Structure 1
Amino acid sequence: MEEKIAYEKAIELESIKSQFFSNISHEFKTPLNIILATMQVINKNIENKSIISIEGANLDRYMNSIKQNCYRLLRLVNNIIDISKIDYGYYDIELGNYNIVSVVEDITMSVLEYVNNKGIELVFDTEVEEEIIACDPDKIERIILNLLSNAIKYTEADGKISVNIYSDKENVYITVSDTGIGIPEEKINNIFERYEQIDNKLTRNFNGSGIGLSLVRSLVEMHEGRVWVESKVNEGSKFIISLPKKTVATENVKSVDLTKSKVEKCSIEFSDIYK
């Protein structure tokens, strides 16, 4: 009976904590949006020469710093809100029949210039030209951008990141692999746990909230798929996603355009990567 009471109290405490994080995240989002909107107005005035900085003052640099750190906070807030929605069962995915090959390729190619500017080679390859499956392209974009963000964080210049797609009779497989620092063996089984981080002196400049991979796993599981990782220290990591080959009842195969706000989405997802 004592164990049962202790367990119920622990569950209640966890629920209170989750509700607190969700509430405070929503409170953060309003002033963040105001800051971002104000920053856009200032940038427009700088562009129009309505605001001119004194000689020697690098105003663009300061504005970029404000924007990047706003994006960092916005990324954290969005992740916490989404995790809270998933916990309470309010997070929905909108499944449609899409060519998953095109969806993943479009997402990967949208960050090509960004990755190349970091001195990293990005390669997309597929063994199949078309696989129509039930998925939510917006959530697939979130998954792939998160995995690419992690790959960039832990891959040095002159490294390589590869995105590959292949399939068997039952599943489609998406892999995101890199030649980065890898994951210690004792961490591999826990890497998708919430707030889990790689404790490595090489990664201290990139430590985040530990929410991203937990969110990836949740989004993959909402597609009735699974995700796992293979890694060796100093050799790199490979994240593998399997999605079932199934479709939903609909008349037509849908196409999707993920180009809307893709620059801003990439900027938010990659905001905690510092050169």
Structure 2
Amino acid sequence: MRHLRTLIVKISIIALLDAITSQIYIGYDLNGFRISMSVIILPVYYYFNPTLNPIITSFGIGLFGLLFRGIIGIGVFGSFMAAAMADFPIFVFDMSYGFIYYFIVYLAKEKTLSRWILAICIADFASNLFELVVRIGPLVGEKIRLVDTLITVAFIRTALATALVFVLKYYNIILMKDEKYERYKSMYTVLSDLKSEIYFMQNNMEYIEQVMGEAYTLYEQLADDSDPKSRQLSLKIAKDVHEIKKNYSKVIEGIDKIGVTQNPYGAFKVRELLEIVVKFFKNESVNAKIELNMVDLLNSDHVVSEHLLFVSVIRNLISNSIEAIRDSRKEGTISVILTEDFEHLILTVRDNGPGIKDKDVEAIFEAGYSTKFNPSTGDIYRGLGLTLVKDIVETTFNGHIKVKSILGSGTEIVAVLDKLALEER
């Protein structure tokens, strides 16, 4: 039932297109014979719908065409029946076209482009020939010259239909590339977030081991203590922390299996990564009435091995600037600037947001520091973004980060990254 509904919809679409485009034509003083543009659209529709039966479709097109032209021809011919009968030879054309296309292309095991071009050229010429014979009788005497015209028309319409197929295929490829890029961009940013979380978890493992060790040391120190409950509690804490460590390890191990921590896409170039991130934030920045600019002052491009962490740094810095400007409820500008010196790549994110108080400048990199909260619940966000950025810059990229901010004027965060550390594998 669903297949039948789809078939009816497809036939209805091409029938309507055919009826409308058939009104664009070159007329001849040959008992109503005319050369229309609809025969350019029809084969293109067949090309992109190879499972559509051309005989059934041609019957639907012909029937709809008779009804359509019968109605609009009442004023000329005096009645619906007279108008429909005057255009009956077009029905002959439609059916002839459908049968020829059916036997040359539809039944073929290999539906190649060259076969399609041959089929529509033959179908165009032969169907016009049949229609013309129905209208004016056998092509004898002076009428035989019309064959040359039909051949020329068939070649021209075939060329136009072929050109249209190439244009649509090219356009379709562009759309697919855009769609794939959007999917890839979303997937990549998710991986970047995941990589950041794993990085944070791996760092926490060191603290977990430290707490576990301290708890066990406390247990041993309480060996001679008269309070057995405290001793047992310290042992329980050590065991619980050990379980937490095991669970952390399992999570990291599981994510390792999908290749996130092994950089699944290999190395990327700095410019390419920056372009991905800026494009990712484009819609969000436009909606927030923020102008987001990328300024590339690099002398040459550089490879980044830990590209997911590099992207995480850029994303967190841009995201913080967007949030700051959005919270201030004013229009703003964010500039992402790439420069370099002999040893370092310098990433600067500058905004004209509300700025940061002097006493808070150093605190913004501390874990838990956040000015963002959920107004409906009162919950403060965890405030790990800039902490993570600082740690990645210093530990992974052997660099440092600095902040310049003027309250009411804006903030500039500069991440200085070691070029050798960027490219290390």
The normalised TM-score by structure 1 is 0.54
Task: Quote how far apart the aligned CAs of 1:103 are.
Answer: 1.4
Greater C-alpha Rg: 2
Task: Quote how far apart the aligned CAs of 1:240 are.
Answer: 0.7
Matches within 5 A, 1:197-212: 197-198=370-371, 207-212=380-385
Partner of residue 217, structure 1: 390
AA aligned opposite 2:409 = E
Matches within 5 A, 1:124-163: 124-128=294-298, 130-155=300-325, 156-163=329-336
Separation (CA, whole Å) in 1 of partners of 2:351 and 2:204: 31
Is the 8 Å Cα contact of residues 195 and 309 (structure 2) preserved in structure 1? no
The normalised TM-score by structure 2 is 0.36
- Deviation digits for residues 118-157 of structure 1, max 9, x if unmatched? 1111111111263314441111111111111110111143
Matched, 1:235 2:409: yes
- Deviation digits for residues 8-58 of structure 1, max 9, x if unmatched? xxxxxxxxxxxxxxxxxxxxxxxxxxxxxxxxxxxxxxxxxxxxxxxxxxx
Bigger drift between 237-246 and 126-135 goes to 126-135
Query: Equivalent residue of 1:105, what SS?
Result: helix
Task: Quote how far apart the aligned CAs of 1:208 are.
Answer: 2.2
2:356 to 143, 158, 183: 183
1:87 to 179, 204, 217: 204
Matches within 5 A, 1:23-42: none
Task: Quote how far apart the aligned CAs of 1:99 are.
Answer: 2.3
| More strand, by proportion | 1
Query: What 5-or-longer segments of structure 1 have no aligned partner?
Result: 1-74, 251-275
Separation (CA, whole Å) in 1 of partners of 2:275 and 2:193: 26
Is the 8 Å Cα contact of residues 298 and 340 (structure 2) preserved in structure 1? yes
Identity %: 24
Is the 8 Å Cα contact of residues 337 and 349 (structure 2) preserved in structure 1? yes
Query: What 5-or-longer segments of structure 2 have no aligned partner?
Result: 1-191, 207-248, 253-260
Matched, 1:112 2:112: no
Task: Quote how far apart the aligned CAs of 1:166 are.
Answer: 0.5
Distance 1:85 1:235, change over 3 A: same
Separation (CA, whole Å) in 2 of partners of 1:163 and 1:143: 12
Task: Quote how far apart the aligned CAs of 1:98 are.
Answer: 3.8
Separation (CA, whole Å) in 2 of partners of 1:99 and 1:215: 22
Separation (CA, whole Å) in 1 of partners of 2:308 and 2:195: 14
Distance 1:166 1:81, change over 3 A: closer
AA aligned opposite 1:86 = N
Partner of residue 262, structure 1: none
Separation (CA, whole Å) in 1 of partners of 2:193 and 2:272: 28
Matched, 1:244 2:361: no
1:165 to 327, 331, 338: 338
- Deviation digits for residues 74-113 of structure 1, max 9, x if unmatched? x999976642321325886759654212211221122112
Is the 8 Å Cα contact of residues 229 and 239 (structure 1) preserved in structure 2? yes
- Paired residues in the alignment total 174
Task: Quote how far apart the aligned CAs of 1:191 are.
Answer: 1.2
AA aligned opposite 2:205 = Y
Greater relative CO (CA pairs within 8 A, separation 6+): 1
Query: Equivalent residue of 1:154, what SS?
Result: helix
